[in-house]
Each structure stands twice: as C-alpha cells, then as structure tokens.
Structure 1
C-alpha cells in the first residue's frame, strides 16, 4: 500500500518516541498488519521452494523484524528503524548460521536478499572449503542465468586472500567473501503491484539452487 511508504517517510523525518506513539495506529494498520498478512500468505509458497524455512506471522519472535532499534552500542540513538524487514529463516537458524530469504521495504531502497549474511567462523570456513572442494559446482550456482538475471552478489570481502589461499587461486574473489548474499533491488511500483507476492516467490525460486548450495556447504537440509 502507498500508506506503508508514506509512514516510513514520515518516520524518517520524525524518528522519536513521542511522534511514534502518536502515530502508532498508522504503524499497526499500514505496516505491521499488512506485513503479517504477507508472511502468512507466503507460507504455502515458501514450502513449495523448501520445507526447511519458516514463515511465522508473529509481531515478536517470528518472521517480522521489530521496528525498534537496539541503540545500546550505537552512535545513532534514533529509536526506530525506517524500513520494514521480513526474514524467512531456516528452521535450524537458531543453532547455526544458516541461509535465508529476506525482504526489505524502504523508500528508495527496497530489496530482496538471499543467502547467508555475516556467517560465523566455522560456517565461513565450511563455505570456503566447499568452494575449494568443488569450484565447478559453486560456479554453476553462482553464475546460473536464472539467478544472475535477478540478483547481484554483494556483502563484505577481505582485502587479502584468506590464510592458505594463493592470490592466483581461480576462485580467490569468492574465497575472500565474508558474506554470501544476493540482492535484487525493487522499485516502489514493484512492491505495490498486485502481483508482488508472486514476483517475490519467483525471485526466491530463482535463488533456490544458490541457497541449496549454501545449505549443503554449512550442513543443513534444503
């Protein structure tokens, strides 16, 4: 709904508790409730992609990220996020750093994310070991046309090759990755289109081989 973007724009201009409390009904009706409906409706589509990911339509402890920022260690003390975040996590994500599917809605910066963000040390080592063991298999999912026509690989990388990897390794750039994520930018018109739920599902389906490879690399089912 356009009202979702209007609320997020207004929140960015008035990021304080008094304003939010005065406009909390707008947040509930234009942001939170539609997001929970989207999560609930996406559940059956998600299960056709993989049964190992959760779509939990709960305001707390589910697929919807809280609007409240954790400002304890942040220089920026504004109390609220100015975007809507939804994550469809792997069922084992509480125990390991597992891949997932993400939707971020923000005026001028909406996107779909897939993959594994900031994996811990053991998971990152497993991902790199999988690339060195089967570079051709990694290249096949990384360069899959259905994936690459929708997604761009991003995230952080090391400046130098990791220890034990030579600078001329055929997959050195991938082995320097600290994140294994693909991003697809979205316009406001795309998000507001009636067929957006189907379009989001199509993006997730196109990323399935990439996410499957990541799951296998870190030892969780797909």
Structure 2
C-alpha cells in the first residue's frame, strides 16, 4: 500500500504526550503547526490510502465537547477517524489503534442484536467470530453491559454474557514499533481491519449496519 503516507514521526507522539501534561490553549497554539504537519497530515494521507477498500475517512474534530462533562480539558489527547465502510483508526501518545463494531446501538439495533444472540446457532456464529478475532490478536471491548439479563430473557437463554452487552467492538492497540514511522503502518492498519470482518459481517447481517469505531481513548 503506498501513496503520500509515510507514517507518523516521533513528533506526533511527542505532541500528544505534551498535550496530556498541558491541555491548554497556550500549548495548542504554540504547537498547532506540529499538529497540522505531523499529526493531521499523516492521518489524511493514511485515509487516502485506505479509502479504496474501506471507504472515505472522516477525522474527528480535535476539540472536546465539554458542555456536559466535569472534565473541562479543551482538547482530545488522540486523533481519531471513522471509515465509511466500517472501522476506526486512532493515534495517541501510546501509539496506534484500530476498532470496528457496534458502538451505541439504537433501540432497534439492540433488539435485533439480542434476538440474534439468543438464537443458539446465530449466537454460536458470534462466539466463533470473537474466537477468530482472538486468533488474530484482536480483542473485543464492551463499554456498557447490563448486570442482569435484559427483560424478556430467562435463565435458560443462550449466550447470556453476550446478551448483557449494549455494545460490542473489536479493538487492537499496537505497541510502538519502528514501522509506525514508515509507510508500513498503512499495511498494519489494513490487515487488522480486515481481521475484524468476522465480527462486522455478523453485525451487518443480524443487527443492521456498522457503527464503526469505539469511544475509547480520545475519540
């Protein structure tokens, strides 16, 4: 995979390490050129590489919505982007990560998810998809889970752990390696996103559409 993308320089990681310490307008203003040239521009180039296979990318704004948060830090400590055909890419001071799955399912999506999970055969397919992710060193994250089974499902329901989920996503965080600073990073991202397809295909078939990405770490 090749284009103008040449990886992220160390300066991109250093930018976010500094922002974690000093999340202020003064820091942002002083380092805005670093963000534009060393963080944002490589993400734009990466998304251009990924677009033919994964769809058009959309980069999240760097500013936090603090209206309803007790944390008034104005800036996100990561750059994240959603991909049009499903997937999420994030860069922060601790490196690169990808995600894909169903985040914040609608009421209708959640109802379809639960009905599918409760079907023994279809629920088994989801278990198999999760096992396939593990075989590719990709984890599954659930950000919100009920303490008990949802209403309408009894103690004999199949796949009870999965039934309690209100979201489900594949997530892989890469350790910082020399390839992060090279064009090879695009291949690592693409390979990992392809490996999430057992989960995203299951969701597309039984829940209805992809809700790419995850809210984890600075979305």
**Common fold: TM-score over 0.5:** yes
1:115 aligns with 2:101: yes
1:153 aligns with 2:140: yes
Report SS of the residue matched to 1:105: strand
Structure 2 CA distance, aligned partners of 1:10 and 1:168?
A: 52
1:132 aligns with 2:121: no
Contact 2:89 2:98 in 1 (8 A): yes
Shift of 1:66: 0.8
> Corresponding residue for 2:168?
180
**Which stretch shifts more, 146-155 or 193-202?**
146-155
When normalised by structure 2's length, the TM-score is 0.83
How is 1:80-99 mapped onto 2 (pairs within 5 angstroms)? Answer: 80-90=75-85
Alignment root-mean-square deviation, CA: 1.9
Contact 1:161 1:172 in 2 (8 A): yes
Structure 1 CA distance, aligned partners of 2:95 and 2:42?
A: 19
Q: Which of 67, 71, 74 is matched with 1:76 structurally?
A: 71
How is 1:24-63 mapped onto 2 (pairs within 5 angstroms)? Answer: 24-46=32-54, 54-56=55-57, 63=58
Q: Which of 197, 208, 214 is matched with 1:219 structurally?
A: 208
Contact 2:147 2:164 in 1 (8 A): yes
Shift of 1:42: 1.0
Shift of 1:167: 3.3
Contact 1:147 1:206 in 2 (8 A): no
> Corresponding residue for 1:104?
90
Q: Sort the Cα spacing of 1:178 and 1:208 in 2 relative to 1 into closer, same or farther, 3 A.
A: same
Shift of 1:109: 6.1
Structure 2 CA distance, aligned partners of 1:31 and 1:12?
A: 15
How is 1:193-208 mapped onto 2 (pairs within 5 angstroms)? Answer: 193-208=182-197
CA distances 1:23-60 after superposition (whole Å, capped 9, x unpaired): 211111011111111111111232xxxxxxx323xxxx
> Corresponding residue for 2:27?
19
CA distances 1:131-155 after superposition (whole Å, capped 9, x unpaired): 22322332332222x5543211111
